[in-house]
């Protein structure tokens, strides 16, 4: 079958090259028994591709079943997939065949495969490696000839790093990867899909189909569509039912598009390994280093303000007291930093400044010590050391020259 006939048969709309590439890969691999892993965001239409793989294969006359792994409770997933024997657990009043036994000779589609518990992943790996499995509560090995197609909207390599997915299972499933592009990357297909949905709903609800102005089409194509095709279909149905007028302009269309907050979400800070290994002394050094930088910046700003020739007398009279107080605060903060001492402790959650310590930390000494530590830690690589210290590489070079550090 060619790509065009596949599109017509399975109702696929669009001419995006990445979409057509995915279809072509599915057609090429369908006659084989290779395991396929389909990835893509939720709502992109991943569920269509296992049907293509099944119908274009030699197993098309066998059974096909789609299993949503995320919708089955963890306590019953093994029974659903592999079956169980009578009395194997509470409520098992009779023996039951699992999907892998029922679909023998056919194709099984495991949607949201990343949601499988680790214990079930072990069982699935055995099926992929040897075609064998055990029913729950049984010691009898059962053979099965099933082609497995899996799908996930989760980044599985990240799940592997977090210990939530087995790496060996991932490589078994990912024999042939198929990536489905998100709708926002298929801008030329968005209006085609809208028209298809609008005509379908017009026929379903016996009403004229929707039409869009040029501005509404532009809005439709520039929106990010976090819910992808599923969201576009829902929006089209809402407008078809609610709006009496069938020519939709941009302001009216905007009412049905939720505000996209993807660009204003706070950035999550991810700890580096080096952060986790920092001792409380290193952390305090870093705080002192940053505090000194802030004080120097404030001093420079105040010096510029005070030294200006065009400050009028009223300003000077009204703010002399404020300036004196500001200078006093700076001197007090400087004294605090110069006299700050650290009491070592083995308890990272219970360390306090102490008045008793042999080491006298001046700002200059602290700065030199931090620079040396950072350079030693990164084996003299100044770029990495500067990043660790939170300063630019140029500033680090200047500090090394200023303190005449022969490293």
User: Each residue of 195-216: pLDDT tens digit?
Assistant: 999 999 999 999 999 999 999 9
pLDDT tops 50 at residue 25:
yes
**C-alpha 380: how far from chain center:** 34
For residues 315-327, average pLDDT: 53
pTM score, whole prediction: 0.64
- The pair of structure tokens assigned to 242 is 């609610």
Contacts of 157 (CB under 8 A, 6+ apart): 170
pLDDT for 337 equals: 53
Nearest to 377 by CA among 261, 270, 286, 298: 286
* pLDDT above 60 for 254: yes
Please state the separation of Cα 329 from the chain's center in Å: 45
φ/ψ (deg, to 5) at 264: -120, 10
Pairing of strands 132-134, 141-143: antiparallel
Tell me how far apart the alpha carbons of residues 39 and 22 are, in angstroms, rounded to a whole number.
Answer: 11
Query: What is the three-class DSSP state of 231?
Result: helix
> What is the average per-residue pLDDT within 138-162?
95
* Mean pLDDT, residues 5-19: 94
Report the pLDDT value the prediction gives residue 275, as an integer from 0 to 100: 44
pLDDT greater than 50 at residue 345: no
274 burial level (CB within 10 Å; 0-12, 13-18, 19+): middle
Domain limits, the chain: 3-181, 184-254, 275-402
Q: What is the mean pLDDT of residues 226-253?
A: 96
Q: Closest Cα partner for 137 from 75, 79, 77? A: 79
Instruction: Output 266 or 35, whichever has higher pLDDT.
Output: 35
For domain 3-181, which CATH number applies: 3.30.70.1350, 3.30.70.920, 3.30.450.20, 3.40.50.300? 3.40.50.300
pLDDT of residue 264: 42
For the chain, give the number of residues: 407
How is domain 184-254 classified at the CATH fold level?
Helicase, Ruva Protein; domain 3 (1.10.8)
Mean pLDDT over 72-89 rounds to 92
CA distance 105 to 101: 9
**Could you check whether 3-181 and 184-254 share the same CATH topology?**
no
Two tokens at 268? 């999550």
Contact 400, 371 (CB under 8 A): yes
Structure tokens at 111: 């949607």
Distance, in Å, from the CA atom of 44 to the CA atom of 23, rounded to the nearest integer, reads: 13
pLDDT given at position 381: 83
C-alpha distance across the termini of the chain, in Å? 68
For the chain, the average pLDDT equals 83
Residues 170-186 pLDDT 10s: 999 999 999 999 999 99
Query: How, if at all, do strands 107-111 and 64-68 pair?
Result: parallel
Task: Name the packing angle between helices 48-55 and 17-29 (round to 10°).
Answer: 40
């Amino acid at each position: 079958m060619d790509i065009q006939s596949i599109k017509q048969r399975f109702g696929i709309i669009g001419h995006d090259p990445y979409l057509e590439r995915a279809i072509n890969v599915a057609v090429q691999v369908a006659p084989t028994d290779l395991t396929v892993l389909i990835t893509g965001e939720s709502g992109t239409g991943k569920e269509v591709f296992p049907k293509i793989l099944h119908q274009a294969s030699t197993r098309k006359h066998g059974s096909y079943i789609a299993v949503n792994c995320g919708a089955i409770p963890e306590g019953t997933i093994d029974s659903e997939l592999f079956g169980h024997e009578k009395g194997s657990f509470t409520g098992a009043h009779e023996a039951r065949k699992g999907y892998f036994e029922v679909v023998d000779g056919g194709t099984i589609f495991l949607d949201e495969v990343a949601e499988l518990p680790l214990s079930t992943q072990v069982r699935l790996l055995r099926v992929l490696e040897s075609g064998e499995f055990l029913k729950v509560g049984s010691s009898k090995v059962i053979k099965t000839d099933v082609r497995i197609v899996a799908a996930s909207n989760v980044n599985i390599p990240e799940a592997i790093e977090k210990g939530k997915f087995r790496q060996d299972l991932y490589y078994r499933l990912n024999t042939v990867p198929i990536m489905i592009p998100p709708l926002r990357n298929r801008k030329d297909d968005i209006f085609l899909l809208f028209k298809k949905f609008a005509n379908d709903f017009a026929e379903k609800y016996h009403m004229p189909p929707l039409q869009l102005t040029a501005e509404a089409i532009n809005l439709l194509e520039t929106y990010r569509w976090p819910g992808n095709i599923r969201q576009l279909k829902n929006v089209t149905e809402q407008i078809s039912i609610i709006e009496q007028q069938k020519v939709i302009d941009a302001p009216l269309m905007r009412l049905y598009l939720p505000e996209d907050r993807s660009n204003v979400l706070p950035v999550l800070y991810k700890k580096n390994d080096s952060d986790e290994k920092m001792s409380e002394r290193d952390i305090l050094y870093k705080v002192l280093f940053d505090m000194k930088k802030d004080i120097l910046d404030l001093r420079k700003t105040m010096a510029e303000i005070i030294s200006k020739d065009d400050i009028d007398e009223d300003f000077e009279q009204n703010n002399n007291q404020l300036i004196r107080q500001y200078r006093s605060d700076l001197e007090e903060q400087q004294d605090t930093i110069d006299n700050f001492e650290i009491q070592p402790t083995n308890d990272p959650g219970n360390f306090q400044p102490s008045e008793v310590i042999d080491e006298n930390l001046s700002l200059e000494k602290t700065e030199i010590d931090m620079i040396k530590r950072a350079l030693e830690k990164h084996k003299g690589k100044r770029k990495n050391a500067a990043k660790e210290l939170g300063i630019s590489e140029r500033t680090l070079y200047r500090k090394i020259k200023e303190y005449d550090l022969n490293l």
